[in-house]
Amino acid sequence: MSESAKAPLELLLEVRAEEIPARMLRPAIEELQSSVLSELVRRGLTPESIDAGYTCRRLWLVVRGLPAKQPDREAVEIGPPASVAFDAEGRLTAAGEGFAKKVGVSPASLRRRLFSKGETHFTEVVSGESIERMVQVKADGERVYAVRSYAGSSAASVLAELLPKSLAQISWAKTMRWGTNSGPWVRPVHGVVALLGGEVVPCDLFGVASGRETRGHPTLSPEPFEVAGSADYFDRLAERGIVAKPEERKAALRRGMEERARAAGGNLVPDEALLDKLAAICEIPGVMEGAFAEELAELPREVLTASLRDHQSALTVERDGRLLPLFLTVMDRPDDPAGRVRAGNEWVVAARLADARFFWEKDRSRPLGERAGALASLTFQERLGSYAEKSERLAALAAEVAGALGLDAARAAAERAARLAKIDLVTEMVREFTTLQGVMGGLYARADGEPDEVWQAVYDHYQPAGADDSLPRGTGGRIVALVDRLDTLSGFFGLGPKLWPTGSKDPFGLRRAALGVVRLALEGGLDCDLAPLFARAAAAYPEGTLTHWNEAFRLEPGPDGARAAGPLVDFLLDRLDYLLGREGLAHDEIAAALGAGRVGLEVGAIAARARALARVRGDRDFLAVALAAKRISNILEGAPEGSVDAGALAQEAERSLHAAAESFRSEVDRALAASDFERGLRAVLPLAGPLDRFFVEVLVMDPDPGVRRNRLALLATLRHAISRLADLSALVVEKADYR
């Protein structure tokens, strides 16, 4: 059997290292998997499947269905100009012979062709067969070229070069060096297993040679052992209690913790993110159970949970809505026969919870509102002032937003909550547990006897923190959450582009803030024109602070009124685009809704337009008008504006379209007055026939300037009326779909 005909092979790769931080493992293995796969495909070694995983001390890949070698290939080598490679009689010159020698082909095999600069491929006929050649041409002209054959390399030789490079190039958040200047990498490397079809792939990673030997747990099963392939690898690790796949470790931890919780008469409080972390900091998913003093369980649930989660990576157990004095975590071993692991964890937990109780009692020594003065020394942003100034802005804006939205019943609670919202930033508890900001303010406000609508608004005002997070309870809480984000976005965007998010960088959480604004408007009963609210938020800053505000956000005159524009508006609409895409709306439907001739910044109306488009676009007549809208847009590009002279419409087809357009405009007025966008879009349907007839019978670009101008004005009038609903030219309509 030839080498190229061998059965597909399996690659097993394992890198053992000292313990790798949990937060770095998943990104690293995903990057390694992607890098290896893309390189294999690029080199003609496309596998059937690739699997990857990690423990705290090892990264592994299993690549199945690898070809034994790369396919043979041919490449085009371009030589000197034909006038240089051949003389006037067509004989090969020294330059031509030198080129043939350089690329390793016979002089007789050289060919000539007229190339164009930038050409990427061409077709030539060889022995009656058409073959497409890939090429990179840097200059025009007739040149000689040769087709050079390359034998494919074995998969083993490709992997020997590829694997160390892919491993060394992983983008770790932090790296180190060790020994005689080895690295940089995340942690010192102790071993490499690289097997292809059961045979060692010879390579080297930071001075550690590959082989077939690995080890188990560093203290429970440190003896080396050899593996023959992936099945053997997983089986032999399992014999030592090591679960190599992170999803299986997580499932084992969940089962074990749920069993312990039930045995204690309670239920495990779910925390998927923490379970992911626990599965990443162990190889053996052993469950450790611990207890703490009953009186410490009287601390607020949020405090107990945060202390156990942040300090001990422990989950909690509840019964009848109350937390039991019990915690569960991982111990990277199957049991704890001497109880030392449990004793150590309980000692630390007792100390941490005692600290938390001290913070709670100290913070409760005086009402939350009496601490407001301390906010003057806490900076929100060096150019945007202190948190004391921010609190004043939020209180004023909350009252104004409540009034603007006709929510007078929530006004007093929203204003009071806005004044209290940031005070917990100066409490001992939030200094220790920053994740509890807002939450602790709400708890302290409740303990101080503040009304439910006030303390809940403080507690919830950082919500929603993402696309799936819940909204604040109550109207007052949603108002405070909205104005907090309005103030932040106005401030940072008003300071200029250096602070705006770029690419994946968003150090001030502005994407999260913008997403919250859009969700509060769409889902929180706060739907309104956001433009004047942003303008009011910006105006609350001292004069001269927001030097780039007019660049970031402005109101531009439009045919229907002032239109909000600028990078901040685009930023918000990008978040709206994202949320509507999650609903299942098509990108072109969203684009068409965003392109409507809107006034201000009403995200609810934009969303309603997009949803209406999704319901209407399947109608054949609607598709016909959408196709015509593209044609109208092209015709009107660069055309001067003008009004329609109805008396000058000579042909029946243009009079018919004018009548249909007038009727349509009236229906659009009624639909928009009722915010019934589907009704307005369905009013488009009767335009299909008149438009079709118009384009068949009427020459828009008539030689007579007056006639031409009047017909263009008719189309422009129709386009403007349609654009009040949506930009139908943005819809992707294939003629096949229409038919």
Distance CA 216, CA 19 (A): 13
Average pLDDT over residues 624-647: 87
Do 588 and 676 reside in the same domain of the chain? no
Q: Are residues 100 and 31 in the same domain?
A: no
Among 239, 259, 287, give the residue marking a domain's end.
239
| 117 burial type by CB count under 10 A (0-12 exposed, 13-18 middle, 19+ buried) | exposed
pLDDT surpassing 70 at residue 560: no
Host domain of residue 502: 379-593
Q: What percentage of the chain reaches a pLDDT higher than 90?
A: 80
Regarding whether 250 and 226 lie in a shared domain, the answer is: no
Buried residues in 551-585 as b, exposed as e (16+ CB within 10 A): ebbbbeeeeeeebbebebbebbbebbbebbeeeeb
pLDDT band at 599 (very low <50, low <70, confident <90, very high): low
685, part of any domain = yes
* Paired strand residues for 69: 154
Q: Which one has a higher pLDDT value, 118 or 331?
A: 331
| 646 domain-assigned | yes
pLDDT at 26 over 50: yes
Interval 380-436: pLDDT, tens = 999 999 999 999 999 999 999 999 999 999 999 999 999 999 999 999 999 999 999
Return the half-sphere exposure (C-beta side, CA atoms, 13 A cut-off) of residue 195: 21
Q: Residue 119: its pLDDT value, please? A: 82
For residue 464, pLDDT over 90 is answered with yes
User: Domain check: are 278 and 418 in the same one?
Assistant: no
Per-residue three-class SS string for 105-156: CCHHHCEEEEECCCCCEEEEEECCEEEEEECCCCCCEEEEEEEEEECCCEHH
Residues 552 and 694 in one domain: no
pLDDT tier at 237 (50, 70, 90 boundaries)? very high
Is 605 part of any domain? no
504 confidence band (pLDDT: 50, 70, 90): confident
From 363, 388, 410, give the residue that closes a domain: 363
Whether 599 is covered by a domain: the verdict is no
Q: Is 557 or 427 the better-scoring residue by pLDDT?
A: 427
The answer to the question of residue 231 being in a domain is yes
The confidence band for 558, taking pLDDT boundaries of 50, 70 and 90, is low
738 has pLDDT over 50: no
**Beta-sheet pairing, 385-386 with 379-381:** antiparallel
Q: Which of 593, 608, 633 is the last residue of a domain?
A: 593
163 & 24 share domain = yes
pLDDT in tens, 207-229: 999 999 999 999 999 999 999 99
Shared-domain flag, residues 696 and 658: yes
Query: 3-state DSSP call for residue 419?
Result: helix
pLDDT 10s digits, 185-197: 999 999 999 999 9
Mean residue pLDDT of the chain comes to 93
In a domain, 454, yes or no: yes
Residue, of 559 and 611, whose pLDDT is higher: 611
Q: Are residues 424 and 287 located together in one domain of the fold?
A: no
**What is the structure's pLDDT at 739?**
45
pLDDT band at 2 (very low <50, low <70, confident <90, very high): very low
For residues 697 and 653, the answer to whether their CB atoms sit within 8 Å is yes
- Average pLDDT in the 596-618 region? 89
CATH number of the domain bearing residue 475: 1.10.3210
Query: Please, which pLDDT band fits residue 38 given cuts at 50, 70 and 90?
Result: very high
DSSP E strand boundaries for 294-351: 315-319, 322-330
Residue 486 lies in a domain: yes
Distance, in Å, from the CA atom of 396 to the CA atom of 539, rounded to the nearest integer, reads 12
Whether residues 433 and 574 fall in one domain: yes
Q: Taking residues 561-572, what's their average pLDDT?
A: 88
Q: What is the pLDDT of residues 87-113, one digit of tens each?
A: 988 899 999 999 999 988 999 899 998
What pLDDT, on a 0 to 100 scale, did the predictor assign at position 270? 94
- Kindly report which listed range (297-301, 518-522, 574-578, 638-642) carries the lowest average pLDDT score: 638-642
Same structural domain, 458 and 525: yes
CB 355 within 8 A of CB 432: yes
Number of compact structural domains in the chain: 5
Checking if the pLDDT of 530 tops 50, the result is: yes
pLDDT beyond 90 at 647: no
pLDDT of 169: 96
Residues 670-720: tens digit of each pLDDT: 999 999 999 999 999 999 999 999 999 999 898 999 999 999 999 999 999
Q: What is the dihedral of CA 599, 603, 606, 607, to 10 degrees?
A: -170
pLDDT at 140: 86
Judge whether residue 539 has pLDDT over 90. yes
Q: Are residues 59 and 30 part of one domain? A: yes
Residue 280 has pLDDT above 80, yes or no: yes
Does position 551 have pLDDT exceeding 90, yes or no?
yes
Q: Are 427 and 363 in contact (CB under 8 A)?
A: yes
**113 and 27, same structural domain?**
no
What does the pLDDT average to over 468-480? 95
Q: What is the 3-state secondary structure (H, E, C) of 494-538?
A: HCCHHHCCECCECCCCHHHHHHHHHHHHHHCCCCCCHHHHHHHHH
Examine residue 526 and state whether it is found in any structural domain, yes or no.
Answer: yes
Please report, for the domain that includes residue 675, its CATH number.
Answer: 1.10.730.10
State the pTM of this model.
0.80
Q: Span 160-182, mean pLDDT?
A: 94
Per the DSSP assignment, residues forming a β-bridge with 147 are 76
CB of 234 closer than 8 Å to CB of 224? no
Q: What is the CATH number of the domain that holds 165?
A: 3.30.70
Q: What is the mean pLDDT of residues 355-374?
A: 95
Residue 1's pLDDT is 38
